[in-house]
A and B are shown apart, each in its own frame.
Chain A
Amino acid sequence: MSRITREEVANLARLARLDLAESELDEYAQQLEIILESVAKVGEVSTKDVKPMSHATGLVNIFREDITKESLKREEILRSAPASEDDRFRVPRILDEE
């Protein structure tokens, strides 16, 4: 198994939207390597022709009637928002300025 480098941890953190501190990179590299080495054990099992199991119930596609129902009130939802304006969530800019 390949060693988990601090560059790999930095890449995982980027994918997971975590602004890790420099000091965390080494710590996680060490820990993730131990954990990933241990969970790699699943590779020892012969799984030819085994169907993957995603959950236990066997249920597929539960549908409901397409009927409009009352939902939560806008002001109740926005009360917990970090910032709101004009009955909407206020979010930071998502596009760079020209």
Chain B
Amino acid sequence: MSDLTKLSALELSSELTKGSVSAVEVTKAHLDRIDSLDKSVQSFLHVDKTGAIKQAEEVDKNRKENKKVSALAGVPLALKDVLTQQGVPTTCGSKILEGWIPPYDSTVVKKLKSAGIVILGKTNMDEFAMGSSTENSAYFPTKNPWDLTKIPGGSSGGSSAAVSAFFAPLAIGTDTGGSIRQPAAVTGIVGAKPSYGGVSRFGLVAFASSLDQAGPFARTVLDCAMLHEVMAGHDPLDSTSINQPVPDVVSAAKLQDVKGMKIGIIKELGGEGWQTGVLNRFNESVELLKSMGAQVKEISIPHSLYALATYYLIAPSEASSNLARFDGMRYGLRVDDGNFSAEEVMNKTREKGFGKEVKRRIMIGTYALSSGYYHAYYAQAQKVRALIAQDLTNAFKEVDVLISPTSPTTAWGLGERVNNPMAMYLADLATLPPSLAGIPAMSVPIGLADEDKLPVGLQIVAPFMNDDRMYRVGGAIEASLKTKWNGLLIDQAPALGGAK
């Protein structure tokens, strides 16, 4: 096997099943690549070499003993540092959790482990998943493997960078307002936010509970679907978990046919203020879908114009409440000179432990929830949220899926937006409406922008618990573009450190 890190999860799975390669060899190949090249990308906060090799040995042993193993057993994965893994540090990209070792596995991790997926380590992220560039990590910014002077998207930028840098064929991210889809778009890979409640939030450190959802990253639509299937499903430990069968995303990803499907272009997402190269690639995908036999028409989601304002009230409000748990009493950082009162300890611990953006959002939320402002801000935002969801429900009476560009621009330069929070928030313009409605959405690569030769993503949005539909469209587009490009978009990425 020439280079195991170049293979998809599906290809690795087939080699592992045949026995032509062992899980330990696959794991070591990826760990070696991380060792030599992550210095420049900085996608991982923590690499768990020993744990990963142990997991791989277990898989090899089970295969040797002819025990039944899952299709993805032995395939490596990068895990966003917001999900707990027993015995492995979990920081959420924050200093307030530095050194915390979770005593339990999140449900997602439990499912990965029981599928024999090898967890290589924890990936970098914007602190508490608040951001769109991964520059809000309290540790270091992660770079975009396409251009190391650009951001890898956020908040799951460590995961998107790890997959696009071929450090792992699979990764887990979380998406509250676009934190899987936007990083996938700007790094030229596939990322999906499942229906809210489709994947258990048990062990996912909460940012905005009514929006948070974990989901898969991969370099192909089918790999993404296979990981989606592993991580999804009902969990009694999460009261918002949906007790329904997981949509058949894997079969949908294999269909490669959109004939007769009705596809709606979201009218409000595009046009003035959007990067020309992004719109060009988007318009080409529309033509591509038409040529494949889909019926495409424009559809209006009028209240989507208010999604940004709605989201930046609801998410910070929930965050201000959720992050109250970081009080320096039971885990994480405690700032104490021995004479401080409990309240002083809380004030000083939170001041020192939280970064700028986290404090900013906690205060926005505190403002929106405080008496006198509650009705005009938080309560009003909840009502507008209902109207956005209603618009989307109405749209799905006419079409099977909706599409838009995933993000208004390609990856921007590191540092460009750090001092301008509103500019940073604009990156989420297109991803917010499905988040607020709780419906599934994914991003698939559709080419490079003319101006900067950086990746552009197509967002595909489906009705609640119809996640399979977006995989059907994503799989069809990928198959068609793969023929055109003679490979995946990610294969066009420049070599890292001269060795690809």
Binding site for B on A (CB under 8 A): 9, 12-13, 15-21, 24, 28, 31-32, 34-36, 38-45, 47, 50-57, 59, 62, 64, 72-73, 76-77, 79-83, 89, 91-94, 96
Judging by beta carbons under 8 Å apart, are B384 and A62 in contact? no
Complex alpha-carbon distance, A47 and B362, angstroms: 26
Given A47-B383, A50-B387, A79-B101, is A31 in contact with B439 using a C-beta cutoff of 8 Å? no
Given A20-B359, A32-B360, is A56 in contact with B389 using a C-beta cutoff of 8 Å? yes
Complex alpha-carbon distance, A82 and B209, angstroms: 26
> Can you add 20 more A-B contacts, CB < 8 Å, to A38-B422, A44-B306?
A12-B363, A16-B350, A16-B362, A17-B343, A17-B347, A18-B354, A19-B348, A35-B360, A39-B368, A42-B377, A45-B384, A47-B380, A56-B439, A59-B197, A59-B240, A64-B236, A80-B102, A81-B331, A82-B334, A94-B342
Given A57-B438, A62-B239, is A36 in contact with B367 using a C-beta cutoff of 8 Å? yes
Judging by beta carbons under 8 Å apart, are A54 and B342 in contact? no
Closest to A47 in B: B383
Interface size class of B (residues with CB under 8 A): 35 or more
- Chain B 302-330, CB-CB to A under 8 Å as 1, else 0, gives 01001011101100000010001001111
Residues of A with C-beta under 8 A to B386: 50-53
Complex alpha-carbon distance, A20 and B351, angstroms: 6
CB distance from A33 to the nearest CB of B (A): 11
Given A19-B351, A47-B384, A53-B383, is A39 in contact with B309 using a C-beta cutoff of 8 Å? yes
- Chain B 456-478, CB-CB to A under 8 Å as 1, else 0, gives 00000000100000000000000
Judging by beta carbons under 8 Å apart, are B439 and A43 in contact? no
Closest to A1 in B: B376
CB distance from A78 to the nearest CB of B (A): 9
Q: Report which residue of B303, B328, B340, B383 has the largest number of chain A beta carbons within 10 angstroms of its beta carbon.
A: B383
Instruction: Name the prevailing secondary structure of the B interface residues.
Output: helix
Complex alpha-carbon distance, A93 and B338, angstroms: 10
- Chain B 371-388, CB-CB to A under 8 Å as 1, else 0, gives 000001101111111110
Residues of B with C-beta under 8 A to A52: 379, 382-383, 385-386
Closest to B340 in A: A92
Residues of B with C-beta under 8 A to A64: 236
Pairs of residues from A and B, 9 with the lowest C-beta to C-beta distance, nearest first: A56-B438, A52-B382, A82-B334, A53-B386, A19-B347, A47-B383, A55-B210, A76-B103, A19-B351
Chain B 21-56 residues near chain A, CB threshold 8 A? none
Judging by beta carbons under 8 Å apart, are A18 and B389 in contact? no
Judging by beta carbons under 8 Å apart, are B103 and A35 in contact? no
Judging by beta carbons under 8 Å apart, are B422 and A34 in contact? yes
Binding site for A on B (CB under 8 A): 100-104, 195-197, 209-210, 236, 239-240, 242, 303, 306, 308-310, 312-313, 320, 324, 327-334, 336, 340-348, 350-351, 354, 359-360, 362-364, 366-368, 370, 376-377, 379-387, 389, 421-422, 437-439, 464
Residues of B with C-beta under 8 A to A50: 383, 386-387
Complex alpha-carbon distance, A86 and B329, angstroms: 15
Instruction: Name the prevailing secondary structure of the A interface residues.
Output: loop
Residues of A with C-beta under 8 A to B384: 42, 45, 47
Judging by beta carbons under 8 Å apart, are B351 and A39 in contact? no
Residues of B with C-beta under 8 A to A32: 360, 363-364, 367
Closest to B464 in A: A56
Judging by beta carbons under 8 Å apart, are B387 and A35 in contact? no
CB distance from A81 to the nearest CB of B (A): 6
Judging by beta carbons under 8 Å apart, are A36 and B364 in contact? yes
CB distance from A96 to the nearest CB of B (A): 8
Residues of B with C-beta under 8 A to A20: 351, 359
Residues of A with C-beta under 8 A to B347: 17-19
Residues of B with C-beta under 8 A to A39: 308-310, 312-313, 364, 368, 377, 381
5 A-B residue pairings within 8 Å (CB atoms):
A17-B350, A39-B312, A47-B383, A53-B389, A55-B210
Judging by beta carbons under 8 Å apart, are A40 and B309 in contact? yes
Complex alpha-carbon distance, A51 and B383, angstroms: 6
CB distance from B323 to the nearest CB of A (A): 9
